[in-house]
Structure 1
Amino acid sequence: MNLDLLLQLVVNGLIVGTLYGVVAMCFVLIYKSTQIVNFAQGEFLLIGAWVCWWLMTSFEAPIWIGFPLTFLFMLIFGVLLQVVVLRPMIGEPIISVIMVTIGLSIFFQSLMGWIFGVFAKPFPRVFETESINILGLQVQTAYMMSLVISLVIMVGFYYFFKYSRLGLAMRATAFNQQVAQSLGISVKQVFAMSWAISAMVSALAGVVVGMVNGVSSALSFFGIKVFPAVILGGLDSIVGAIVGGLTIGVLENLAEYFDAQWLHLGNLYTVAPFYVLVIILMIKPYGLFGTKDIERI
């Protein structure tokens, strides 16, 4: 048993897991405020990565300019998407809105392929060294940057929901939209901001993964990979999203280790999270931290 490799994979899993947790929080944010599962979440990563790549290659913008401009673009994009496409769907059956998000997923993936092509393109060099040595372990510099930013975002989410006026409005809207409206909260504004924040934070993950693996349509699959983490933690739990993300990140890398050492199946890294998804749905459909919906007849 190669313990050094095992430790390396566990550390990598924890770092990538924080990124999963951040994207999972975006799923939870939209679900809590609108009761919609956004199947176009992966495309938010793809769009954010392509926008940042375009700014840095076409205009030679440094990362400290390209990153904030990408965030600003995704903020506007998220608001416009909710106002133009999703707001007219308020009051329609949930399945209709979900189908709209699936349609948006296909549309944005095709649009990005038409604009930027279907082949992976390397991200401009951002760091002088691609990896750094931490206690004998090699860690991608981009992932270390994402770890720090992800932790800041997680702490920011906590204080945002607990103390900010808009965060409290989102919590009230998630609890009961009619009660929130009676308290003078603009539910439409809450919906728009939840989609905007989700788009911005997803762009972070897209840029980081693009730095490591290049930018291509494969980035959109990241949103599907995060879905088991959302189900594991609970669709309406921010804490669950973080725990689920870390768990799935470590699980993926452990699956890769055991597959390489003994099983030799070849694809366990990819499919292991979905095995967990099926098991969790069978045993605990609401996830580890999700709120159980009790209906009385």
Structure 2
Amino acid sequence: MGFFLETLLGGLMTGMLYALVALGFVLIFKASGVFNFAQGAMVLFAALAMARFSEWIPGWLGLDNKILANLLAFVIAGALMFVVAWLVEFLVLRHLVNQEGATLLMATLGITYFLEGMGQTLFGSDIYSIDIGMPKDPMFLLEGMFEGGILVNKEDVIAALIAAALVAALSVFFQKTKTGRALRAVADDHQAAQSIGIPLSRIWVIVWTVAGVVALVAGMIWGSKLGVQFSLTTIALRALPVVILGGLTSVPGAIIGGLIIGVGEKLSEVYLGPFVGGGIEIWFAYVLALVFLLFRPQGLFGEKIIDRV
């Protein structure tokens, strides 16, 4: 039982990180109807900025305080993601209002390759580390209930708590604030939203900035765990099944989908992997997403589209 709970907790913590990346897809799709293929590139770009600024700032300002240097690096990287959001809106999105979904998707593909190339041009292409002070040593829980206790990595716990707090804040933002309601209105109909005075350009800058901050937090956490490298862009591919499972328009769906995928991957690898030679964790999420596409393509919490003719 103790080993099962250990595996379950590991899956839940991984699932929260998947949900954090999936939120970037959901936020932009809810506000603009655009499937943002550039979310993985945004994670890489933000993580590169965070890693490099945290290295450069102590030399620039003569700081010995690592916490302050990391905080300044986070603020500067966040400001940089705002600039990226503004440029995306100014140079791309405002020229593609009411265009076909395929056109918008291709635009985000262009943004993907631009961010990947620009990130490596500005910050380099080596493997960088992000040290934000999260403890990496393990700890044992419930030692009185189970022999040996349950082994949990402190870094995973802190990362999951950060992801959960950000997910909760974004849920409140979308459901309870005037700006959040405006974002949903823009997603429903661009022209109708403009006709009632909602500034489309400002809304898009806001949502891409929020998605950029989400990418920054996700890149910071994954970069701390795995190092900042080009493979971080594949994190977005790991989040695609989460979006399919939860629904492209649902913030709660991204959370539930992430938890289901995270737990499913860990449990299937541990309990089914030995019978099939392992490797289930790699493809489990995609098979589950395929099943949902066949029987419930809108996802668990997505809006069902009904075309009347």
Both structures adopt the same fold (TM-score exceeding 0.5):
yes
Larger Rg: 2
For residues 81-230 of structure 1, the aligned pairs below 5 Å read 81-124=88-131, 126-135=133-142, 136-230=149-243
**Deviation, structure 1 residue 280:** 0.7
User: Which residue in 1 is equivalent to 2:299?
Assistant: 287
| Percent identical residues | 29
Gaps of 5+ in 2: 59-65, 143-148
Deviations 1:226-284 (A, max 9, x none): 0100010111111111111111111121232135433213x321111111111110111
Query: Any conservation in 1 of the 2:3–2:150 contact (CA below 8 Å)?
Result: no
Residues 49, 206 of structure 1: 8 Å contact kept: yes
Cα distance in structure 2, aligned partners of 1:167 and 1:116:
33
Aligned to 1:27: 25
Cα pair distance change 1:87/1:181, threshold 3 Å:
closer
User: Which residue of 2 is the match for residue 55 of structure 1?
Assistant: 53
Q: What SS is found at the alignment partner of 2:86?
A: helix
What is the identity, as a one-letter code, of the residue corresponding to 2:308? R
* CA offset digits 1:9-43 (Å, max 9, x no partner): 22111112112112222211111111110111011
SS at match of 2:304: coil
Q: 1:160 to 1:214 in 2, by over 3 A?
A: same
> Are the aligned partners of 1:142 and 1:211 in contact in 2 as well (CA < 8 Å)?
no
The verdict on how the C-alpha distance between 1:108 and 1:131 changes in structure 2, with shifts beyond 3 A counting, is: farther
Structure 1 residues 133 and 116 mapped into 2: Cα distance closer, same or farther (>3 Å)? farther
Letter in 2 for 1:86: L
| Equivalent position to 1:74, from 77, 81, 89 | 81
Tell me how far apart the structure 1 counterparts of residues 3 and 94 of structure 2 sit (CA, whole Å).
49
Task: Name the SS of the counterpart of 2:92 in structure 1.
Answer: helix
1:269 aligns with 2:267: no
Normalising by structure 2, we get a TM-score of: 0.87
Amino acid of the structure 1 residue aligned with 2:84: F
> Hey, what's the Cα distance between the residues in 1 that align with 2:168 and 2:112?
29
**Closer/same/farther in 2, CA of residues 129 and 170 from structure 1, 3 Å limit:** same
Q: Encode CA deviations 1:41-71: one digit per residue, 9 max, x unaligned.
A: 0111111111111122222453333233322
Spell out structure 1 runs of 4+ moving beyond 6 A.
Answer: none
Deviation, 1:184, is: 1.3
Count residues in correspondence. Answer: 294
Cα distance in 2 for partners of 1:18, 1:77 equals 26
2:49·2:123 contact (CA, 8 Å) conserved in 1? no
Equivalent position of 2:253 in the other structure = 240
RMSD across aligned positions (CA) = 2.1
